[in-house]
């Protein structure tokens, strides 16, 4: 479930009214404003109008709030200043301007502190925490929430205590290692919510507790709290969430019939209240229940509806879950072509989510940096005003004024130095995140292409008159994969391709792509060289040796294994990036087609090369002529088996000889790096 879903209700309870009621209220307040007999009453009226409009007319909220702030400041009306700053912040919240929002809410917080208004302080601390939480800065958010809780407990404000406890719990729920801490705060919030007779809060707390117990496999406790949530949330759009949690409990306990029944009920409830996120989640869980219970066709139907709903909602997480479920279902049906297509979609969505999470981290750091920058501007303005005031006084007290200015400048210098160091630290973190993003990009595109894309926003296709292309494929893949679970299958392919990547990198060969169980790479691009045919031949021999080692291991473990076919051809290609989304570096031309035919006409454990490649490597490698063989859509082509390196290549190949232990070590190192 989406952990933060219910908090919105708690934070903004009572703030939403109908447009008609708001307009009527604003008109009434406008009359009060016009008839106000003193400035403090005018400030109060302006603030109330500003607050009434923040949901529907945030720009008007800013306008009325600024009027209130200016008037309140001119007459020294501290409560008016506090409320005006708070209202302006609300306007910026709706407009999505979080930087200016924080400036006004921090000013409001200071004003409430001056007034010793602890209720206002607790409210602002909670709101500030919510902003940082939305920006992904859990540490700062948690600090504000804990401060809000402390103040709320000091004044005995039960509603704010319950809100702070739940917000703290949701931060702790973001990480598996802190789930027990989340549980502790939720259990503290529950009796308070019950005492307040706030059914929404009770349902929120108990749903989250149930979810935590489910993840901890404490099924009786999970069902107990799910039932509490159902009782509290009955008749609301959130009723589907505890139903779905309860269904997942029965699924893990092996009661498939009850799991399917509950997930169907959750689907119906979410659909009746037009709760699209809950509907997509429940459909995915329903698909899982059908799949585990042995009804793959019903599972497909549920999963496909789930991704349709998720697509309209724009929920990448539920799309990812749906794609994964469909891939696994098709694999169980032995429809491997469909399974690989949806597994490809799953992998793409998983990568997209990962990239967005990385982007969010960078944005969070930039957000912090922008806050510091904004604060620097405010501080500089304040310091400038102070210096101007000191200059006025300087004429009256020149003898001792210089010393005071010197002290102030010293203090300012210390403050600025502190801020400089902090900003420098933030910049360093941002640079590190940028480097991580660069590395992600370089995992997708060659460095030259990536640089061109960043500079120009597009790349030009390039012609290469000679490159060597390698294709690999697994013989009997469909029949072997039928004996393995989908997860085992993907893991086995991943281990193979991971080692292929290591080998390609070692020989300076560019990996192009994988298509199902096929692997494609090319030597001689994007940087041209004169050794690409030799590099690819050496890499092919290493791949063959690795697969032989892997076969011996699998046979010893009495496990299924793949046998590889390899094909190589040398010729001209065009290479580049096409499209504007999901960039992929690729190559085109007849050379690619012939290389593919070399692979498909190879044999298990053999490397089949074309005549053009043979002509380039024959003096350094042992090659066996096969004769002219008919290739699909290509006619008769001369083909050769690449058997091994000749004596003059032996010294080179020795340093790349891969025995069982060295392969294992490479795999372990690569797993740690991954």
Burial (CB count within 10 angstroms: exposed 0-12, middle 13-18, buried 19+), residue 363: middle
pLDDT tens sequence across 194-221: 999 989 889 999 999 999 999 999 999 9
Residue 655 is predicted with a pLDDT of 47
Question: Which of the residue ranges 2-11, 24-33, 97-106, 157-166 has the most confident prediction, judged by mean pLDDT?
Answer: 157-166
Tell me how many helices (H) and strands (E) the chain has.
Answer: 27, 8
Residue 451 is predicted with a pLDDT of 62
User: Over 90: is that where the pLDDT of 640 sits?
Assistant: yes
DSSP 8-state assignment for residue 511: E
483 or 109, higher pLDDT: 109
Phi-psi region of 494 (alpha: psi -120 to 50; beta: other; left: phi over 0): alpha
Out of 102-106, 119-123, 132-136, 408-412, least confident range: 408-412
pLDDT tens sequence across 297-355: 999 999 999 999 999 888 888 898 999 999 999 988 888 888 888 988 888 887 776 55
- One domain for residues 48 and 104: yes
User: Over 70: is that where the pLDDT of 440 sits?
Assistant: no
- One domain for residues 519 and 432: no
pLDDT band at 4 (very low <50, low <70, confident <90, very high): very low
- One domain for residues 384 and 419: yes
CA-nearest of 442, 463, 648 to 574 is 463
pLDDT band at 533 (very low <50, low <70, confident <90, very high): very high
82-86 mean pLDDT: 93
Residue 576 is predicted with a pLDDT of 81
Question: Which of the residue ranges 2-6, 113-117, 361-365, 653-657 has the most confident prediction, judged by mean pLDDT?
Answer: 113-117
Question: Which of the residue ranges 24-28, 305-309, 411-415 has the most confident prediction, judged by mean pLDDT?
Answer: 305-309
Of 92, 116, 140, which closes a domain? 116
Residue 26 is predicted with a pLDDT of 57
In a domain, 190, yes or no: no
Residue 177 is predicted with a pLDDT of 82
Give the C-alpha separation, 168 to 542, whole Å: 54
pLDDT band at 608 (very low <50, low <70, confident <90, very high): very high
In a domain, 372, yes or no: yes
Residue 50 is predicted with a pLDDT of 87
- One domain for residues 468 and 502: yes
pLDDT tens sequence across 31-59: 656 666 688 888 888 888 888 887 788 88
Model pTM above 0.85:
no
Helix axes 78-95, 98-115, angle to 10 degrees: 160
State the maximum Cα–Cα separation within the chain, in Å, rounded to a whole number. 106
- One domain for residues 438 and 574: no
Out of 21-25, 80-84, 133-137, 607-611, least confident range: 21-25
465-469 mean pLDDT: 93
**b (16+ CB within 10 A) / e for 525-549:** bbeeeeebbbbbbbbbbbbbbbbeb
pLDDT band at 142 (very low <50, low <70, confident <90, very high): confident
- One domain for residues 435 and 470: no
Q: How many domains does the chain have?
A: 3
In a domain, 261, yes or no: no
Q: What is the CATH number of the domain that holds 636?
A: 3.30.70.1230
In a domain, 258, yes or no: no
User: Over 50: is that where the pLDDT of 366 sits?
Assistant: no
- One domain for residues 440 and 471: no
Out of 54-58, 84-88, 398-402, 558-562, least confident range: 398-402
- One domain for residues 419 and 519: no
DSSP 581-618: SS--EEEESHHHHHHHHHHHTS-TT-EEEEHHHHHHHT
- One domain for residues 406 and 555: no
Q: Measured at the alpha carbon of residue 451, what is the angle toward residues 446 and 455, in degrees to the nearest 5?
A: 150
Share of the chain above pLDDT 70, in %: 73
In a domain, 124, yes or no: no
- One domain for residues 410 and 545: no
User: Over 60: is that where the pLDDT of 394 sits?
Assistant: no
Residue 361 is predicted with a pLDDT of 44
Residue 420 is predicted with a pLDDT of 55
Of 416, 444, 472, which closes a domain? 444
Out of 92-101, 155-164, 488-497, 653-662, least confident range: 653-662
User: Over 60: is that where the pLDDT of 664 sits?
Assistant: no
DSSP 110-173: HHHHHHT-HHHHHHHHHHHHHHHHHTT-HHHHHHHHHHHHHHHHHHT-HHHHHHHHHHHHHHHT
In a domain, 494, yes or no: yes
Q: What is the CATH number of the domain that holds 56?
A: 1.25.40.10
DSSP 629-651: EEETTTEEEEEEEEEEE-HHHHH
In a domain, 195, yes or no: no
User: Over 60: is that where the pLDDT of 650 sits?
Assistant: no
In a domain, 425, yes or no: yes
**Domain limits at 387?**
358-444
Residue 84 is predicted with a pLDDT of 93
Out of 11-20, 170-179, 219-228, 240-249, least confident range: 11-20
User: Over 80: is that where the pLDDT of 665 sits?
Assistant: no
492 or 601, higher pLDDT: 601
- Residues near 116 by beta carbon (within 8 Å), at least 6 away in sequence: none
- One domain for residues 439 and 476: no
Residue 635 is predicted with a pLDDT of 81
- One domain for residues 72 and 12: yes
Residue 134 is predicted with a pLDDT of 74
Give the C-alpha separation, 352 to 192, whole Å: 41
Q: Give the length of the chain.
A: 674
User: Over 60: is that where the pLDDT of 22 sits?
Assistant: no
Of 96, 116, 136, which closes a domain? 116
Over the chain, what is the mean pLDDT?
A: 78
Residue 425 is predicted with a pLDDT of 55
pLDDT band at 74 (very low <50, low <70, confident <90, very high): very high
């Amino acid at each position: 479930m989406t952990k933060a879903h219910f908090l919105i209700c708690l934070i903004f309870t009572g703030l939403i009214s109908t447009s008609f009621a708001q307009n009527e209220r604003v008109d009434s307040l406008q009359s009060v404003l016009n008839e106000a007999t003193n400035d403090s009453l005018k400030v109060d009226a302006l603030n109330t109008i500003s607050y009434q409009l923040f949901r529907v007319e945030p720009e008007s909220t800013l306008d009325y709030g600024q009027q209130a702030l200016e008037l309140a400041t001119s007459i020294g009306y501290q409560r008016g200043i506090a409320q005006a700053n708070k209202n302006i912040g609300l306007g910026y919240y709706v407009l999505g301007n979080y930087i200016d929002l924080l400036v006004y809410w921090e000013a409001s917080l200071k004003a409430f502190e001056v007034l010793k208004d602890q209720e206002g302080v607790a409210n602002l601390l909670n709101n500030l925490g919510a902003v940082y939480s939305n920006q992904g800065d859990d540490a700062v958010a948690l600090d504000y929430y804990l401060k809000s809780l402390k103040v709320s407990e000091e004044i005995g404000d039960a509603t704010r205590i319950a809100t702070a406890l739940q917000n703290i719990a949701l931060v702790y729920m973001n990480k598996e290692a802190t789930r027990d801490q989340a549980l502790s705060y939720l259990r503290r919030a529950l009796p308070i919510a019950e005492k307040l007779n706030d059914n929404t809060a009770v349902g929120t707390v108990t749903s989250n507790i149930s979810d935590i117990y489910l993840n901890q496999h404490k099924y009786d406790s999970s069902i107990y709290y799910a039932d509490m949530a159902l009782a509290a949330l009955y008749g609301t759009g959130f009723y589907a969430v505890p139903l779905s949690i309860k269904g997942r409990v029965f699924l893990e306990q092996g009661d498939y019939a009850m799991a399917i029944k509950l997930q169907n009920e959750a689907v119906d409830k979410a659909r009746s209240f037009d709760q699209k996120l809950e509907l997509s989640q429940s459909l995915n869980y329903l698909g899982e229940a059908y799949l585990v219970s042995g009804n793959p066709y019903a599972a497909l139907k549920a999963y496909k509806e789930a991704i349709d709903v998720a697509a309209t909602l724009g929920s990448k997480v539920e799309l990812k879950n749906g794609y994964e479920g469909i891939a696994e279902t098709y694999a169980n049906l032995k429809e491997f072509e469909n399974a690989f297509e949806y597994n490809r979609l799953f992998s793409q969505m998983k990568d997209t989510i990962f990239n967005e999470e990385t982007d969010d981290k960078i944005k969070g750091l930039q957000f912090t940096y922008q806050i510091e920058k904004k604060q620097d501007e405010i501080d500089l303005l304040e310091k400038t005003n102070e210096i101007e005031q000191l200059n006025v006084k300087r004429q009256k007290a020149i003898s001792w004024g210089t010393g005071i200015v010197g002290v102030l400048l010293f203090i300012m210098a210390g403050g600025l130095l502190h801020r400089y160091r902090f900003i420098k630290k933030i910049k360093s973190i941002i640079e590190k995140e940028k480097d991580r993003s660069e590395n992600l990009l370089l995992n997708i595109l060659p460095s030259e292409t990536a640089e061109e894309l960043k500079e120009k926003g597009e790349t030009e296709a390039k012609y290469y008159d000679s490159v060597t292309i390698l294709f690999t494929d697994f013989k009997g893949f469909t029949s072997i994969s039928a004996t393995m679970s989908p997860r085992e299958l993907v893991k086995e392919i991943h281990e193979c391709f991971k080692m292929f990547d290591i080998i390609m990198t070692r020989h300076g060969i560019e990996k192009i792509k994988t298509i199902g169980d096929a692997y494609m790479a090319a030597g001689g691009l994007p940087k041209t060289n004169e050794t690409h045919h030799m590099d690819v031949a050496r890499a092919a021999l290493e791949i063959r040796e690795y697969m032989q080692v892997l076969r011996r291991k699998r046979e010893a473990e009495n496990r299924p294994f793949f046998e590889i076919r390899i094909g190589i051809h040398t010729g001209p290609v065009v290479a580049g990036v096409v499209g504007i989304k999901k960039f992929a570096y690729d190559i085109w031309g007849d050379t690619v087609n012939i290389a593919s035919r070399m692979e498909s006409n190879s044999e298990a454990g053999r490397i089949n090369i074309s005549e053009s490649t043979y002509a380039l490597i024959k003096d350094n490698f042992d090659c066996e002529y096969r004769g002219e063989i008919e290739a699909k859509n290509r006619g008769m082509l001369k083909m050769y088996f690449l058997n091994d390196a000749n004596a003059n290549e032996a010294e080179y190949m020795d340093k790349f000889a891969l025995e069982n232990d060295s392969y294992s070590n490479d795999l372990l190192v690569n797993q740690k790096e991954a």
